Structure 1
């Protein structure tokens, strides 16, 4: 399985945490679940971290059967629509998003 994770590095604007989470739940999560070939979508919110660790208030994790399935999802119209929708989310966030593609070990 291939896992693609989006790390939101930075901070949600103070007092906007609930609005941020609601926006993700109501607007973005339904779109992410429509990506072609996606097997699993998880949204993870940070509750604590090691001293000195970078701040990741949110991580989006998606799972695909193969790199080809991931590539197809990344080229899909719904992915581009979700990127547009994410722009509004970023108005509540100071920082940036970086992505990692991982191969999940079996066994």
Structure 2
């Protein structure tokens, strides 16, 4: 048994992506951020749908239609496949822990 809040990386100079479970139809990933954003150019345009929840911290997602969604602890969102999006902000003073479920 493991705990989602244990073994957090000490070095957060880069955002950390860790697969928790992976199969042909679903992938569950823990993401750890601290002030990280997506690259200025380009968008996530994924083959799978993504359900994501912020377990700790805060973040904002920007969509290519100009919509921006703020996520605080406990907030979740479902992003259908091929909906272009990026992370526009994560709290620079606190660690943000996401749980992302990618599914087909």
| TM-score, normalisation: structure 2 | 0.32
Which is higher, the Rg of structure 1 or of structure 2?
A: 1
Identify which of structures 1 and 2 has the higher relative contact order when contacts are C-alpha pairs closer than 8 Å and 6+ apart.
1
Higher helix share: 1
Higher strand proportion: 2
The normalised TM-score by structure 1 is 0.32
